[in-house]
Structure 1
Amino acid sequence: MTELPPKPSRDELTERAARVRLLAFDVDGVLTDGGLYYGDGGEVMKRFDVKDGHGLVMARLAGLRTAILTARSSSIVEVRGRELGLAAVLQGRKNKAAGFRELLSQLEVSPEECAYMGDDVNDLGPLGMAGLSACPADAAAEVRQSVHYVARCRGGHGAARELVELCLRASGRWEATVQHMRDPDALQAVKL
């Protein structure tokens, strides 16, 4: 049996989070609860959490770029990405390690400057490369064991927002971002 690396100390976790310039997320099981809803016509619906969406908007307002990297393809994800002003939406990337390298190259970010949140074993590639790896509380056991940070929230129920807050606090941008959100004029142009 391979020995797992130890979890970082609080100080090391804060250092990793402070370096983040890009937050990348899987979709199903991270930005959604992982459920897929099929209707008679075959259409698929996904449930996104507004808290996670608000977190991604806060990251953007604070100067952090956000992105999606997912193995599935869905027009719903494209629409959600546009609504939130994501820097990139990479869909249909079955090989997520290659997709992660593509994302970093496209956005000109080093792996050390990227946080990645995934929930299942197909996310282990990017999780192993990211400067800050994270997962929701209900991620697969192999993922929970291998990441730097396990969120208290489940996928599709605030885990992504939790990672955003960790990075904003670590970089000293949390209070200014909250203050910005208190301005009603700032909220008019923001779609959650």
Structure 2
Amino acid sequence: MTETLPKPSKEELVARAARVRLLVFDVDGVLTDGGLYYGPSGEAMKRFDVKDGHALVMARLAGLPAAVLTARSSSIVDVRGRELGLAAILQGKKEKGPALDELLTQFSIPAESCAYMGDDLNDLGPMSRVGLSACPADAVPEVRHEAHFVAQSRGGQGAARELVELCLKASGRWEDVVGLMRRSDTQSILKG
């Protein structure tokens, strides 16, 4: 049995979230429910949560870029990522730690200013590198153990939105983005 690491206090969690300048998400089990649906030609579908998607759009509008980093490759992820206006879509990255380092270099962001949300053992590498590590409620025990923030929601069912809201509220951008949502002229740029 591994030793239990103390979770950050609420104040420390908010401070970590306030420093976030880049959000990075795994896909399967984080932005989706983890189910893989195959047809005769290979992967046919993934289920994404519209509230997670809308949160990623709100983050973009608030000046907080988001990216995906996944070991699998899927045209479905490209389509969804472009639809949401993600800053980067890294697929087929079996070595996620070095891939995260590439993203940090690309955006000139120090690791302590990055949040990463993952759900399985291959996410432990990037989680150990960032200032704010997070996971859905249904992540594997080792990941929940290591995460600074464990969402109340399951993967593909609002976990990503919880992380986005935490970061936007901690950095004082939440009210601005909510105000932006109230204006009807923004509806044409929302596709979450």
Q: TM-score range by the shorter chain?
A: over 0.9
CA distance in 2, matches of 1:170, 1:86: 21
Aligned-partner SS, 2:162: helix
Listed as ranges, the gaps of 5+ residues in structure 2 are none
Normalised TM-score (structure 2): 0.97
Question: Residue 191 of structure 1: CA displacement?
Answer: 1.2
Q: Which residue of 1 aligns with 2:69?
A: 69
Aligned to 2:184: 184
CA offsets per residue over residues 141-175 of structure 1, 9 Å max, x none? 00001110000000000000110000001011111
Residue in structure 1 matched with residue 98 of structure 2 by the alignment: 98
Displacement of 1:2: 4.4
Aligned to 1:83: 83
For residue 5 of structure 1, report the CA deviation from its aligned partner: 2.3
Distance 2:35 2:2 in 1: 32
Q: Structure 1 residues 73, 173: CA separation in 2 closer, same or farther (over 3 Å shift)?
A: same
The aligned residue for residue 42 of structure 1 is: 42
| Distance in 2, Cα, partners of 1:41 & 1:28 | 19
- CA deviations 1:106-135 (Å, max 9, x no partner) are 111110000000000000000011100000
Partners of 1:42 and 1:127 in 2: how far apart? 30
> Residues 2 and 141 of structure 1: is their aligned pair in 2 closer, same or farther, counting only changes over 3 Å?
closer
Q: Equivalents in 2 of 1:184, 1:84: separation in Å?
A: 19
Determine if the alignment matches structure 1 residue 55 to structure 2 residue 62: no
Tell me how far 1:184 sits from its aligned partner.
Answer: 1.2
Alignment partners' CA distance in 2, 1:43 and 1:93: 18
Distance, in Å, in 2 between the alignment partners of 1:28 and 1:130 is 20
Alignment pair present for 1:11 and 2:11: yes
Query: 2:164 matched to which residue of 1?
Result: 164
Task: State the alpha-carbon separation in 2 of the partners of residues 176 and 15 from structure 1.
Answer: 19
Structure 1 length normalisation: TM-score? 0.97
- How far the C-alpha of 1:4 sits from its partner, in A, is 3.4
Paired with 1:132 and 1:4, the residues of 2 have a C-alpha distance of 18
Runs of 4+ off more than 4 Å: none
Aligned twin of 1:112 = 112
Please give the secondary structure, in 2, of the residue aligned with 1:185. Answer: helix
Name the CA distance, whole Å, in 1 between partners of 2:161 and 2:4.
27
Number of aligned residue pairs? 192
- SS at structure 2 position matched to 1:67: strand
Read off the aligned partner of 2:175 and give its amino acid letter. E
Report if aligned partners of 2:54, 2:190 keep a CA contact under 8 Å in 1.
no
Residue 42 of structure 1 deviates from its aligned partner by 2.3
Report the CA distance between 1:102 and its aligned residue.
0.9
Q: Are the structure 2 counterparts of residues 43 and 147 from structure 1 closer, same or farther at C-alpha, using a change threshold of 3 Å?
A: closer
- Residue identity opposite 2:69 in structure 1: L
Deviations 1:69-116 (A, max 9, x none): 000011110111111111101111101111111111111111000000
